[in-house]
Amino acid sequence: MKLYKTKYKGILSMTIMSLLLILSISCESESDSFFSREITFKPSAKPRVTTEGNQITFIDSSTSVTSRLWTFEGASIVNSDQQEVAVTYPNYGTYPVDIQVTDNAGKTFDRRFNVQIWKQVTAAFSPDKTTAKFGSTINFINLSESLNQNLEDQDFDRFEWIFEGGDPVTSTVEEPSVVYTNVGKFDVTLKVVRSFPPDSMTITMPDLINIVDVDVINPVASKLSSVGKEIHLTYDKDVAAFDASAKDSFTLTVDGQDYEISAAALAAGDATKIILTLENSIKEGDANIKLNYNGNLLSDDGSAILGGISGLPITNNLINLFGTRDGVAYSGFENDDAGVFPAGWGAWNGTANRDDYVVVDTESASGDKSLEIRLFNDVGFEGWGVEAKGWSTADDVLPDGKYQVQVWAKSTIAGKRLTIGTLADGWAQADVGNVFLTTEWALYTFDFEVVDALPRYYYQQLRATEDYTVWVDDIKLYNAD
């Protein structure tokens, strides 16, 4: 037994020695290859979804890293080499984030992921009227934006209303109706809360609601007029005379931008109509035109007050009456091929298209093309004219009313006269006006009136006593009533 034990101990001792030797060799081998092992790559962002203007904290928890480089698209900083960095995104959108890390052996690892930035919540609302007789009900339209309306968790959005002087005083309904039984001016407050990503906004409109003890009259009609230069409001009672300061009671926005009102006055001979003159004309294509009024104008007999207006939509009726014909849209020669006579046009006397009257892509007031007109001295006094036959209303008849032609033009020689006119059947001709061209593109406008619903075509006339070239572009015809 003793001999056995001794032998066993020797074996055990040799085994331990062998193990130590193996471990020693293994450690040596690992020491040589340690820095070539793949690192643990763990970048993260908290939160991955947030609201514009908020911070996102980026953390690189990677191990065995000697350097790193973050790249942030659309953020407040472009790059960082820090393990943890806070970044702000000023604008909404989806943005990529890149990180590259390097280990001790110089090997690099890359990763890209996205963060999502939402628009801030915008609290906004509009009552269907701001002035009303006591006992009236006012309905509130919720215009708040950037909520979860398209998401499954939209029920988590919260609306908190406070109606000073109203019944109810508070509400969580999205678009409540409120009764006002006391005379006075009252505030309205709306708080909008978004659940994800979290955001909120509160708006208070002081003295928004004006409750009075007399009748209230509101516009029965509104219209954009004078080629976008005026807005007409019509009431069912004569409005009492007012001074020039009344214009400050009206405000106008176009596509969310303030639009200056330069004057307010009663229409000549019609006290039921208020005419608001704009500093700059509304343009074709302008949208979301909203009118507001918060004043104390009265009816002429003193029995009623003009109701307040909040966000009254004004229809943009500016339509180029040259419009379309045979399914082809007039677009200032953009749809015509360069080097050809323009589609939809015809020579004034019905003769064939002229070779010296051609669409070009070397000059334009806007877009890429214009109409080039080459004049020669041998044309003489008679000159020439062209009618926009086919670029008028669908049946080539302009109803009775006021109209305006707009045309951009330039000439190789300054001072050349351009005549604009209308032409009806039987040569019922009417020259609208004359202008003298310059060598730079300029917009010219011509006003005229149709009194007998005849076919009327736009035409232009130039007269040559020397060789020169004229270009015209963006010809438009608007109803100016």
**Are residues 269 and 259 in contact, defined by beta-carbon separation less than 8 angstroms?**
no
**Are residues 348 and 384 in contact, defined by beta-carbon separation less than 8 angstroms?**
yes
> How deeply is 300 buried, as exposed, middle or buried, from its count of CB atoms within 10 A (0-12, 13-18, 19+)?
middle
**Does 15 map to a domain?**
no
**Does 32 map to a domain?**
no
CA distance 145 to 148: 9
Number of folded domains in the chain?
A: 4
CA distance 26 to 295: 91
Element containing residue 310 per DSSP (H, E): strand 309-313
For residues 437 and 330, membership in a common domain is answered with yes
For residues 87 and 188, membership in a common domain is answered with no
For residues 418 and 334, membership in a common domain is answered with yes
Cis peptide before 168 (omega within 30 of 0): yes
DSSP 190-217: EEEEETTTTEEEEEEEEEEEEEESSEEE
Structural domain boundaries enclosing 69: 43-118
Q: What is the pLDDT along the chain (481 residues), one digit of tens a residue?
A: 333 333 333 333 333 333 332 223 233 333 333 344 556 788 899 999 999 999 999 999 888 889 999 999 999 999 999 999 999 999 999 999 999 999 888 899 999 999 999 999 999 999 988 888 899 999 999 999 887 755 555 556 899 999 999 999 999 999 999 999 999 999 999 999 998 899 999 999 999 999 989 899 999 999 999 999 999 999 999 999 999 989 999 999 999 899 999 999 999 999 999 999 999 999 988 989 999 998 889 999 988 999 989 899 999 988 887 766 555 556 678 888 898 877 766 655 555 456 677 899 999 998 899 988 887 665 443 344 444 443 344 455 667 788 888 889 999 999 888 877 665 554 445 566 788 899 999 999 888 777 665 555 555 555 556 778 889 898 888 888 8
Compute the residue count for the chain. 481
For residues 110 and 129, membership in a common domain is answered with no
Positions of E strands within 73-124: 79-80, 84-88, 93-102, 108-118
Note the pLDDT of residue 355. Answer: 62
Q: How open is the CA angle 201-206-211, to the nearest 5 degrees?
A: 130
User: pLDDT tens for residues 37-93?
Assistant: 556 788 899 999 999 999 999 999 888 889 999 999 999 999 999 999 999 999 999
For residues 376 and 454, membership in a common domain is answered with yes
CA distance 311 to 156: 28
**Does 432 map to a domain?**
yes
Per DSSP, helices labelled H in 306-404 are none
**Are residues 188 and 204 in contact, defined by beta-carbon separation less than 8 angstroms?**
yes
For residues 353 and 470, membership in a common domain is answered with yes
Tokens of residue 364, six digits: 């334009």
CA distance 101 to 109: 5
Note the pLDDT of residue 3. Answer: 36
Straight-line distance from the first to the last Cα atom of the chain, in angstroms, rounded to the nearest whole number: 127
CA distance 49 to 56: 9
Residues 6+ apart with CB under 8 A from 164: 186, 187, 188
Tokens of residue 19, six digits: 């193990």
CA distance 165 to 459: 63
For residues 112 and 132, membership in a common domain is answered with no
Note the pLDDT of residue 224. Answer: 94
Query: Can you tell me which residue has the tokens 């074996």?
Result: 11
**Are residues 387 and 421 in contact, defined by beta-carbon separation less than 8 angstroms?**
no
For residues 165 and 239, membership in a common domain is answered with no
Strand-pair category, 199-212 with 131-133: parallel
For residues 446 and 427, membership in a common domain is answered with yes
**Does 31 map to a domain?**
no
Coil, strand or helix at 30: helix
261 DSSP β-pair partners: 278
**Does 156 map to a domain?**
yes
Note the pLDDT of residue 324. Answer: 60
For residues 335 and 441, membership in a common domain is answered with yes
CA distance 387 to 423: 8
**Does 439 map to a domain?**
yes
CA distance 468 to 471: 10
For residues 329 and 473, membership in a common domain is answered with yes
CA distance 280 to 262: 9
Q: What is the mean pLDDT of the chain?
A: 80
Which of 86, 118, 150 terminates a domain? The answer is 118
CA distance 132 to 108: 71
CA distance 154 to 143: 16
User: pLDDT tens for residues 278-316?
Assistant: 999 999 889 899 999 988 899 999 889 999 898 999 999
For residues 331 and 474, membership in a common domain is answered with yes
**Does 20 map to a domain?**
no
The CATH number given to whatever domain includes residue 265 is: 2.60.40.1220
DSSP 141-170: EE--BSSSTTSTTGGG-EEEEEETTEESSE
Which of 69, 92, 118 terminates a domain? The answer is 118
Query: Can you tell me which residue has the tokens 């040559």?
Result: 464
**Are residues 286 and 308 in contact, defined by beta-carbon separation less than 8 angstroms?**
no
Note the pLDDT of residue 390. Answer: 36
* CA-based nearest residue to 115, from 100, 103, 130, 98: 98
**Does 391 map to a domain?**
yes
Which of 310, 338, 357 terminates a domain? The answer is 310
The CATH number given to whatever domain includes residue 108 is: 2.60.40.10
Note the pLDDT of residue 195. Answer: 86
